[in-house]
Amino acid sequence: MALLTGGCLCGRVRYEVERDGAIVDYCHCDSCRRSTGGATVAWMQVSPAHFRITVGAAAAYRSSPRSIRHFCPACGSQLYMTDDAGRSVGVTLGTLDDKEAVAPAAHGWDGDRPSWLCLADDLPRFVGDPDYDS
Ligand SMILES: [Zn+2]
Ligand SMILES: [Zn+2]
C-alpha cells in the first residue's frame, strides 16, 4: 500500500488515496478547464475502493451525463470526480499534499487544449477520451 494524502485549499476536506495501479494523465477538456479555472487539470484515476474522505465532506456538481465533480463547499477546490457506474474515482493531482508524488503519463482531450498551452513532453496524446477511458 502506498497511501497519499491530500485536501482542499482551506483544509476542511481531506482525503487519502492509494497510488498503486492509478492511471495518471492530463485532461485538457473544456469542462475540466472551466470547472477549475486552470489551464489544464492532471488526474489520478483509482478504483473507488482506493479512495476515501478522511475529514469533512465535499459538495457535488454533475458536469456531464456521466460525471460528477466534487469540491470543497467552503473554498471551492475541486478534489475528485466520480461516475454513476462507480467505475473509478479521479483525484486532482493539484490537491495532493506531495506534488511530486505522481506525474501524468498521457494527455487526454488534447483536441480541446488551448493553442497557447505547450507542454514539451513525449507523452501519448489523445484527441478526445484516452483509449483506456472509453
Ligand atoms: Zn476547502
Ligand atoms: Zn476533462
The DSSP code sequence of 66-126 is TEEEEE-TTT--EEEEEETT---EEEEGGGBS-TTS-----EESGGGS-TT--------B-
| Residues 108, 105: Cα–Cα separation, whole Å | 10
Expressed as residue numbers, the domain containing 40 is 3-133
* Domain CATH number, residue 90: 2.170.150.70
Cβ < 5 A residues, ion ligand 2: 27, 29, 32
Looking at the structure of the chain, the number of domains it has is: 1
* Pairing of β 107-108 and β 23-27: parallel
21-50: pLDDT as tens digits: 999 999 999 999 999 999 999 999 999 999
Could you say which ligand is closest to the alpha carbon of residue 31? 2
Could you say which ligand is closest to the alpha carbon of residue 133? 2
Residue 1 CA to ligand 2 center (angstroms) comes to 28
112: phi then psi, degrees, rounded to nearest 5: -95, -5
Residue 31 CA to ligand 2 center (angstroms) comes to 6
Determine contact, residues 46/21, Cβ cutoff 8 Å.
Answer: yes
Mean pLDDT of the chain: 96
Cα atoms in the Cβ-side hemisphere of radius 13 Å centred on 11: 0
Give the predicted TM-score (pTM) of the model: 0.94
State residue 124's pLDDT score. Answer: 95
